[in-house]
Amino acid sequence: MSRYWSDIVRRLTPYVPGEQPALAHPVKLNTNENPYPPSPAVVSVIRAELGEHGEALRRYPDPTARALREAVAAHHGLNADQVFAGNGSDEVLAIVFQALLKHDQPILFPDITYSFYPTYARLYDVAYRTIPLDAAFQIRIDDYRQVNGGIIFPNPNAPTGHALPLSDIERLVASNPDSVVVIDEAYVDFGAESAINLIRQYSNLLVVHTTSKSRSLAGMRVGFAFGDAALIDALNRVKDSFNSYPLDRLAQAAAKAAYEDDAWFRDCTAKVVASRERLTARLIALGFEVVPSSANFVFARHQAFDAATLAARLREKEIFVRHFKLPRIDQHLRISVGTDAECDALLDSLKVLMDGHLA
Amino acid sequence: MSRYWSDIVRRLTPYVPGEQPALAHPVKLNTNENPYPPSPAVVSVIRAELGEHGEALRRYPDPTARALREAVAAHHGLNADQVFAGNGSDEVLAIVFQALLKHDQPILFPDITYSFYPTYARLYDVAYRTIPLDAAFQIRIDDYRQVNGGIIFPNPNAPTGHALPLSDIERLVASNPDSVVVIDEAYVDFGAESAINLIRQYSNLLVVHTTSKSRSLAGMRVGFAFGDAALIDALNRVKDSFNSYPLDRLAQAAAKAAYEDDAWFRDCTAKVVASRERLTARLIALGFEVVPSSANFVFARHQAFDAATLAARLREKEIFVRHFKLPRIDQHLRISVGTDAECDALLDSLKVLMDGHLA
């Protein structure tokens, strides 16, 4: 604390991301990274942009990321003015909170959801009300039918992995014309239905995507928002009042190439989905309850073992999973889907720990 | 405009960066980029981080950019907790406005200065008062001796290029203990004295640097703030409430390598300084008045020729300089220092235009 701090700084509760261990070969199942590398085309375009002497790096990137936005728009059958690009979907979401979710009425989001949302709300002084998930950890759309300044949740939800059908999303968007509904689709490519095609029909729908999960580019920081051009305009006005050039040259080139290699994308996501189903079955065989997941992680609890203890013991073996010390979910573990070999390392260690009663 | 916009969006005046022309070989002297590529070590470390298959890109970067901050701290004889890293110094400055410059009293900055400052102030609802430069376009330190919520200006100032001596900066910082003084040293490496060594002595001093100018990394987006650990803590709290991972893996590696190759840095900046002196002399020979510059640009006017017209005619020849349509400086051009060959292309075109009375 210091007298030089602005008032807002005292009131913040910064988000704490999952640990990035500095180990040679951790089994890292704690931050929902993709176990497969990005498309080989990504490596090629970065090398090309770099050139022999890095000549291009001395020049500012395109502040509008036009080539990237056009490629992503084409991929989704949209126009470039319906696409906003930011420095990771976390930055995109922050700008969404500031540009579209700050109104007189509180915004609504689930009590169990991406824990960055309340942090953004405090940063921008956005009032919010949380809506409890039901006992099965599912979002009940009808609970959101109340006056609000906006609605936001992930689909599939995090950290539960549960997905709503598109018909539920459309029902909500159609019944909520007075404020923006933000669907954070960070995990949509692993088995849920995207609402992206609804943006042409509903001017109050904003869909957020990331390249960090299904495109294997967490290390490059590129995310998007899709919506009516007026919503995208608001995001650009804030972005251009904050940082003209949020995406560097190599990130723009990498993300564009990732969207252009659809075969790689389909192959990697299919492999992750297959590993998720295998992991789920084996966790259940070990006595875990697992929330049915449409994401690249599973959310699981064991009646006989404390989740925090399990996570701590796994960590001693350099196996990292995520535990949230939060109401309702402090007995759950969120486990990212790795390769089958990584999942097996986890399952083997769990079995040893539990057979020895964590000895 | 849309009813979905937050109120703040309606009030914004987004910053407009210099044009990034999509031409094969423009003479680009409009955004103060370095005419020389970054250190060869930058290219090597990006290639190494990329590897054969881009395996590292699937993983999140270090959210704290620790290795980079430690390298930059070591370079300046500081501790890592005195260094904040952001996605370009524009992002760093935005976070500074939100975290350290929002108080009851208005902040102070020059009437002629980096035009992003009033934009940040509007984005975060920070009251400000501008202090006129004197008739020679110089900052008069004594004019800032008044109650304030903070003080910010670049040294050298932009777009004038004029630098204050370190003794003036220290006098101001010492006489202003109740609020933060931010010295934006984007251009300091081209001939001004850095205030960075004063941060150990003055807990109210924050110094901002960028890799976009003297380190030839405008394309990679890396900037820093240096100050007392309590000031840096405030910036981190805002950053961690906004975006945990602002710097991608390749940007972190690139910036670290750039700081570790001091010989390349000294050589490039020396060449730019030599070219600036040469350009200045030749502009004066053509009848221009040139503000003495300590930056990698010059600020020049010609009594006989309208600045906007000159800029437009040069643009037709694919030569880009910056013209600001702003009070007091609308008859000036800001010309980035390129290679001697680029400066000669500019000088030759100016001569032809003026000899033909712009015909």
| Distance between CA atoms of residues B211 and B299, nearest Å | 22
| Distance between CA atoms of residues B310 and A135, nearest Å | 70
Could you tell me where the DSSP H helices lie in B195-248? 229-239
| Distance between CA atoms of residues A277 and A310, nearest Å | 22
Closest CA to A9 of B342, B193, B103: B103
Domains in chain A: boundaries: 18-37+263-355, 40-260
Do residue B58 and residue A36 have CB atoms under 8 angstroms apart? yes
User: Which pLDDT score is estimated for A359?
Assistant: 56
- Taking only residues 279 to 338 of chain B, the set having a beta carbon closer than 8 angstroms to any beta carbon of chain A reads none
Q: For A41-84, what is each residue's pLDDT tens digit?
A: 999 999 999 999 999 999 999 999 999 999 999 999 999 999 99
Do residue B250 and residue A123 have CB atoms under 8 angstroms apart? no
What single-letter amino acid sits at B159?
Answer: P
- Taking only residues 186 to 225 of chain A, the set having a beta carbon closer than 8 angstroms to any beta carbon of chain B reads 203-204, 212, 216-221
Token code pair at residue A55 = 């000549």
CA distances from A184 to A71, A134, B276 (A): 21, 20, 50
Do residue B59 and residue A254 have CB atoms under 8 angstroms apart? no
Do residue A53 and residue B31 have CB atoms under 8 angstroms apart? no
Yes or no: say if B276 and A247 are a contact pair by the CB < 8 Å rule.
no
H-helix or E-strand containing A161? Answer: none
Residue A27 dihedral angles phi and psi, to the nearest 5°: -90, 100
**Collapsed DSSP state (helix, strand, coil) of residue A192:** coil
User: Chain B residue with minimal CA distance to A97?
Assistant: B6
Closest CA to A183 of A114, A135, A262: A114
Integer Rg of chain B from CA: 21
Does ipTM come in above 0.95? yes
Closest CA to B319 of B30, B34, B27, B31: B27
Give me chain A's average pLDDT, please: 97
Q: For A91-137, what is each residue's pLDDT tens digit?
A: 999 999 999 999 999 999 999 999 999 999 999 999 999 999 999 99
Which of A57, A124, A214 to mutate to probe the B interface, most B CBs <10 Å?
A: A57
Q: Residue A86 pLDDT more than 70?
A: yes
User: Which pLDDT score is estimated for B270?
Assistant: 98
Q: Is B131 on the interface with A (CB under 8 A)?
A: no
Comparing CB atoms, the residue among A2, A60, A218 nearest residue B58 is A218
Q: What percent of chain A has pLDDT over 90?
A: 95
Token code pair at residue B99 = 């975290």
User: Which pLDDT score is estimated for B236?
Assistant: 97
| Distance between CA atoms of residues A337 and A30, nearest Å | 9
CATH topology of domain B40-260: Aspartate Aminotransferase; domain 2 (3.40.640)
Do residue B60 and residue A99 have CB atoms under 8 angstroms apart? no
Which residues are within 8 A (CB) of B285 and not within 5 positions of it... i.e. 6 or more apart?
Answer: none
What single-letter amino acid sits at B328?
Answer: R
CA distances from A140 to A169, A171, A172, A256 (A): 11, 12, 10, 36
User: Into which CATH architecture does domain B13-37+263-355 fall?
Assistant: Alpha-Beta Complex (3.90)
Token code pair at residue A65 = 């990321």
Do residue A8 and residue B179 have CB atoms under 8 angstroms apart? no
Yes or no: say if A151 and A97 are a contact pair by the CB < 8 Å rule.
no
Q: What percent of chain A has pLDDT over 70?
A: 99
The low-confidence residues of chain B, meaning pLDDT below 50, are none
| Mutual angle of helices A307-316 and A340-355, in 10-degree steps | 110
Closest CA to A57 of B185, B263, B46, B191: B46
- Is 3.50.50.60 the CATH classification of the domain at A18-37+263-355? no
| Distance between CA atoms of residues B179 and B100, nearest Å | 9
User: Which pLDDT score is estimated for A13?
Assistant: 87
Do residue A245 and residue B17 have CB atoms under 8 angstroms apart? yes
A144: closest CA of chain B, how far (Å)? 18
- Taking only residues 40 to 99 of chain A, the set having a beta carbon closer than 8 angstroms to any beta carbon of chain B reads 40, 42-43, 46-47, 50, 52-63, 87-88, 90-91, 94, 98-99
Could you tell me where the DSSP H helices lie in chain A? 7-11, 40-50, 66-76, 89-100, 116-123, 166-174, 229-239, 249-260, 262-285, 307-316, 340-355
Q: Which chain A residues touch B16 with a CB distance below 8 Å? A: 240
Do residue A254 and residue B55 have CB atoms under 8 angstroms apart? no
Which of B241, B252, B272 to mutate to probe the A interface, most A CBs <10 Å?
A: B241
Q: For A327-344, what is each residue's pLDDT tens digit?
A: 999 999 999 999 999 999
B244: closest CA of chain A, how far (Å)? 7
| Beta strands at A297-302 and A288-291: parallel, antiparallel or unpaired | antiparallel
Q: Exposed, middle or buried by CB within 10 Å (0-12, 13-18, 19+), for B337?
A: buried
| Distance between CA atoms of residues A66 and A310, nearest Å | 47
| Distance between CA atoms of residues A109 and A116, nearest Å | 11
Comparing CB atoms, the residue among A87, A180, A218 nearest residue B246 is A87
Do residue A37 and residue B55 have CB atoms under 8 angstroms apart? yes
Q: Is A254 on the interface with B (CB under 8 A)?
A: yes
Token code pair at residue A352 = 């040893």
Q: For A199-253, what is each residue's pLDDT tens digit?
A: 999 999 999 999 999 999 999 999 999 999 999 999 999 999 999 999 999 999 9
CA B92 to chain centre: 11
Q: Is A267 on the interface with B (CB under 8 A)?
A: no
Yes or no: say if B148 and B107 are a contact pair by the CB < 8 Å rule.
yes
